[in-house]
């Protein structure tokens, strides 16, 4: 008998978007409130896992054609490069810089290189989680 | 501000990441060799720098000493980083012809680099929790290297290895938590200063013993060595060489660092305990080394003996003993790597690691035989070679301390080390030549080059000791005077 999961799939379409938005919020609020790259990355992978449960691996791969192992590398590279900026500036490794900028729509915003480091963490967490789930899911 | 200090950690990190992208094996091999050569040169520069300018530190993120993480390169760390990089370079070249395509395709070279981050980082860090993190980096890479290939014996032994190390890591966290709750800092120099202020009350001694248990589990000292023979036996030859030369020595280094920098106020208890444990370790290692007829097992038990000897030198806590321990540590890292590479070659030629099934290899492979002979007598500590000076100083230290029993055990153990390794030489290389199926002379020659380089370095280390001694005395000086370390880090 073919199972009918229309309700699950329809709900997923709405809920996964909410989860992704929440994970992005968590990621950006990390500096001033609870949150950050780690929990943001976990939340994003939770959204992807939900889609995997509701549909299947193939759909997800067609939707997000990402090689998650490469994503780990990209994340690590982002984090290291953030540290290396300081080396080229002549400061100790991983020194961070920040400033306040007037952006067109957002207005006065504080930008900090620690966010780039966090982006690296975020990518590594998504990459690692998805690699684990994908390789366990696909092994026979 | 001196970013050079952190580059021995950053170089393998960056090259490890880049190797994730470039999966072509030729690129991976070339890149690994280039990166390791660069780290070796960097380590040489670091030694020269530390020799002229004293201890070099880097406050990562530009946070001043006790508040941020400090990377500290004193002479001991610099020497160990250089040794690590030389060994890693030789082992990676050895891997080209021995590890096999199957493993190479599954991230062997990136993980190899990750292991080096852990080892170099553990040697260079000046923060106790950061030390834990680098331990984990090292251990996780070692789990992968141990299980990579997925044969039955590897799977079984990796389970044991992971189990033991997860438990010891948890103990490490608990020990750090205790220490933090008592003294309220994690920076090693600051820790040392504060422990000196409160004069090491009972609770600090308890924590010192807890650290001894943690590092003893990593470094395989007497009651905590049980996991090592089985786990190391499962690894393929180059991985075994890397483990045998580096991993246990990081544990030994950590014991040395904590017991000379922080917990040195109640030596009656802690250092006496250390010396008894060291003696028991030597005895256990000696028993294992003569008991087995398997070449891998014999050398594996020789690791345990060497760990015992080094820890004994540290436990003496006098100039000669510590100097001897440092010399012996460096000698032992090099010679163990060389021996594991050589027995890897022997096992490849004979197709077995059982000593009773091989004989007369010297007929077909004389160079392998004589290289092994030089490595063997160097291990035992025959005078012009590298193992001699370290052991001599340890013996001198133990006589100065009036511990004649320890002296006797150290000297007796040398005899049995010589016996165990000569047993390999006599039974394996002499006698009636065995029938060797598919003689791979070319592969053997390729494998022999890195092993010979290591033996040559060990020879040079023994013969040119006069030139190297000032560097080693500087390393000992820092260990014996924690104030030098504290002043360099806290910049008082």
Give the nearest partner residue to A80 out of B1, B13, B21, using CB atoms. Answer: B13
Nearest-by-CA chain A residue for B10:
A80
Q: pLDDT tens digit string along A69-121? A: 999 999 999 999 999 999 998 889 989 998 888 888 888 888 889 999 999 99
Q: How close B408 comes to chain A (CA, Å)?
A: 49
CB contact under 8 A, B13 and A92: no
Between chain A and chain B, the number of residue pairs with CB atoms below 8 A apart is: 41
With an 8 Å Cβ cutoff, are A94 and B60 in contact?
A: yes
Residue B394 has pLDDT above 80, yes or no: yes
Which residues in chain A touch residue B18, judged by CB atoms under 8 angstroms apart? Answer: 77
A94: left (phi over 0), alpha (psi -120 to 50) or beta: left
Beta-bridged to residue A108, according to DSSP, are A102
Q: Specify the length of chain A in residues.
A: 140
- Which of the residues A92, A112, A128 would you substitute to probe the B interface, choosing the one with the greatest number of B C-beta atoms within 10 Å? A92
A-chain CB neighbours of B17 within 8 Å are: 73, 76-77, 80
C-alpha distances (whole Å) from B492 to each of B184, B195, B264, B483, B484 are 20, 17, 21, 10, 10
> Is the Cβ pair B17, A91 closer than 8 Å?
no
Residue of B nearest to A76 (CA): B17
| Closest C-alpha to A41, from A74, A81, A80 | A74
Write the residue in B17, B18, B58 that is nearest to A93 by C-beta.
B58
Residue B383 structure tokens: 């005078």
Task: Search chain A and give the residue with CA nearest B18.
Answer: A73
Nearest to B92 by CA among B40, B153, B47, B46: B40
On the question of pLDDT at B244 being above 70, the answer is yes
Task: Give percent helix, percent strand, percent coil of chain A, each to the nearest 5.
Answer: 70, 10, 20
pLDDT at B313 over 80: yes
Shortest distance, CA A79 to any CA of chain B (angstroms): 11
Instruction: Round to whole Å and give the CA distance between A140 and B214.
Output: 39
User: How confident is the model over A17-31, as pLDDT tens digits?
Assistant: 999 999 999 999 988
Give the H/E segment covering residue A62.
Answer: helix A57-63
ipTM of model over 0.85: yes
How distant is the Cα of A14 from the closest Cα of chain B, in angstroms? 35
Confidence at residue A1, expressed as pLDDT on a 0 to 100 scale:
59
- Cβ of A77 within 8 Å of Cβ of B17? The answer is yes
| Cβ separation B20–A94 shorter than 8 A | no
Residues of A with Cβ-Cβ distance to B62 under 8 angstroms: 86, 91-92, 95
Nearest CA in chain B to A94: B61
Q: Please give the pLDDT value at position B440.
A: 80
Count the neighbouring beta carbons within 10 Å of the beta carbon of residue B165.
23
What is the per-residue pLDDT across B465-474, written as a single tens digit (0 to 9) for each? 989 999 999 9
Best to test chain B binding among A68, A93, A112, A139 (most B CBs inside 10 Å): A93
Could you tell me which chain A residue has the CA closest to the CA of B6? Answer: A93
Residues of chain B with C-beta less than 8 angstroms from the C-beta of A76: 13, 17, 20
CB B324 within 8 A of CB B313: yes
User: What is the arithmetic mean of pLDDT over B136-143?
Assistant: 96
Cβ-contact A66, A110 below 8 angstroms: no
| pLDDT of B380 above 70 | yes
Residue B492 has pLDDT above 70, yes or no: no
Cβ–Cβ gap B3/A80 under 8 Å: no
| Residues 43-82 (A) with a CB less than 8 A from some CB of B | 69-70, 72-73, 76-77, 80
pLDDT digits (tens, 9 = 90+) for B61-116: 888 888 999 999 999 999 999 999 999 999 999 999 888 888 888 999 999 999 99
C-beta of residue B86 within 8 angstroms of C-beta of residue B457: yes
Q: What share of chain B has pLDDT > 90, as a percent?
A: 80
Residue-level pLDDT at A103: 83
Q: Please, which pLDDT band fits residue B173 given cuts at 50, 70 and 90?
A: very high
List of chain A residues whose C-beta atoms are within 8 Å of the C-beta of residue B14: 80
Range A126-137 average pLDDT: 93
What is the token pair recorded at A93? 């490794």
- The angle, 0 to 180 degrees and rounded to 10, between the axes of the packed helices B295-316 and B319-350 is 170
- In what helix (H) or strand (E) does residue B70 lie, and over which residues does it extend? strand B70-73
What mean pLDDT do residues B10-36 have? Answer: 93
Say what the pLDDT of residue B443 is.
Answer: 85
Inter-chain residue contact A92 with B61, CB threshold 8 Å: yes
pTM: 0.94
Chain B residues close to A72, C-beta within 8 Å: 20
B240: helix, strand or coil:
helix
Name the average pLDDT for chain B. 92
Measure the CA angle with vertex B359, ends B354 and B365; round to 5°.
110
The reported pLDDT for the residue numbered A106 is 81
pLDDT at B1: 53
Residues pairing with B97 in the sheet:
none
Q: Cβ of A90 under 8 Å from any chain B Cβ? A: yes
Residue in chain A lying closest to B106 (CA): A69
pLDDT digits (tens, 9 = 90+) for B406-452: 999 999 999 999 999 999 999 999 988 887 777 788 888 889 999 99
- Nearest CA to CA, how far is A77 from chain B (Å)? 7
**How near does any CA of chain B get to the CA of A10, in Å?**
37
Rounded to a whole number of angstroms, the CA Rg of chain A reads: 18
Q: Do A95 and B14 touch (CB under 8 A)?
A: no
């Amino acid at each position: 008998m073919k199972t009918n999961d229309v309700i699950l799939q329809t709900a997923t379409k709405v809920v996964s978007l909410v989860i992704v938005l929440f994970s992005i919020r968590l990621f950006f609020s990390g500096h001033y409130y609870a949150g950050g790259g780690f929990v943001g990355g976990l939340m994003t992978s939770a959204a992807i896992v939900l889609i995997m449960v509701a549909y299947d691996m193939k759909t997800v791969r067609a939707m997000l054609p990402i090689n998650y192992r490469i994503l780990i590398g990209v994340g690590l590279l982002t984090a290291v490069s953030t540290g290396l900026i300081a080396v080229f500036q002549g400061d100790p490794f991983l020194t961070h810089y920040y400033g306040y900028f007037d952006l067109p729509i957002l207005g006065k915003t504080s930008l900090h290189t620690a966010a780039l480091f966090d982006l690296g963490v975020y990518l590594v967490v998504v990459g690692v989680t998805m690699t684990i789930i994908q390789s366990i899911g696909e092994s026979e | 501000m001196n970013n050079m200090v952190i580059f021995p950690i950053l170089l393998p990190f960056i090259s490890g990441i880049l190797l994730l992208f470039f999966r072509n094996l030729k690129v991976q091999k070339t890149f690994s060799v280039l990166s390791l050569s660069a780290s070796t040169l960097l380590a040489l520069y670091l030694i020269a720098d530390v020799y002229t300018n004293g201890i070099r530190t880097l406050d990562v993120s530009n946070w001043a000493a006790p508040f941020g993480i400090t990377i500290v390169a004193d002479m001991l760390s610099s020497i160990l980083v250089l040794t690590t990089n030389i060994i890693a370079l030789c082992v990676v070249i050895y891997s080209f012809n021995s590890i096999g395509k199957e493993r190479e395709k599954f991230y062997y070279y990136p993980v190899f680099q990750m292991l080096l981050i852990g080892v170099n980082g553990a040697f260079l860090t000046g923060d106790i929790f950061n030390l834990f993190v680098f331990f984990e980096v090292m251990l996780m890479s070692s789990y992968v290297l141990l299980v990579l290939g997925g044969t039955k014996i590897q799977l079984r032994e990796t389970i044991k290895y992971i189990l033991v190390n997860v438990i010891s890591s948890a103990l490490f966290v608990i020990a750090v938590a205790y220490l933090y709750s008592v003294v309220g800092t994690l920076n090693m120099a600051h820790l040392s200063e504060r422990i000196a202020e409160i004069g090491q009350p009972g609770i600090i001694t308890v924590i010192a013993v807890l650290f001894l248990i943690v590092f003893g589990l990593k470094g395989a000292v007497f009651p905590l060595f049980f996991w090592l023979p089985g786990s190391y036996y499962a690894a393929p030859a180059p991985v075994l060489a890397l483990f045998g030369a580096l991993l246990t020595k990081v544990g030994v280094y950590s014991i040395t660092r904590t017991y000379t920098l922080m917990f040195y106020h109640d030596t009656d208890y802690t250092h006496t305990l250390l010396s008894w444990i060291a003696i028991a370790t030597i005895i256990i290692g000696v028993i294992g080394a003569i008991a087995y007829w398997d070449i891998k097992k014999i050398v594996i038990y020789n690791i345990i003996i060497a760990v015992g000897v080094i820890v004994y030198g540290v436990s003496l806590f006098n100039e000669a003993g510590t100097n001897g321990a440092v010399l012996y540590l460096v000698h032992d890292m090099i010679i163990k790597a060389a021996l594991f590479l050589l027995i890897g070659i022997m096992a490849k030629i004979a197709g077995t690691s059982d000593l009773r099934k091989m004989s007369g290899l010297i007929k077909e492979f004389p160079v392998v035989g004589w290289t092994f002979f030089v490595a063997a007598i160097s291990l035992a500590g025959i005078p012009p070679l590298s193992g001699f000076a370290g052991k001599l100083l340890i013996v001198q230290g133990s006589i100065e301390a009036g511990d004649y029993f320890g002296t006797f055990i150290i000297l007796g153990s040398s005899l049995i080390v010589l016996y165990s390794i000569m047993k390999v030489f006599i039974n394996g290389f002499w006698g009636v030549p065995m029938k060797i199926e598919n003689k791979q002379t070319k592969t053997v020659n390729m494998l022999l080059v890195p092993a010979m380089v290591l033996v040559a370095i060990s020879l040079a280390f023994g013969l040119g000791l006069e030139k190297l001694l000032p560097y080693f005395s500087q390393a000992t000086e820092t260990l014996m005077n924690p104030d030098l370390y504290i002043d360099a880090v806290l910049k008082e």
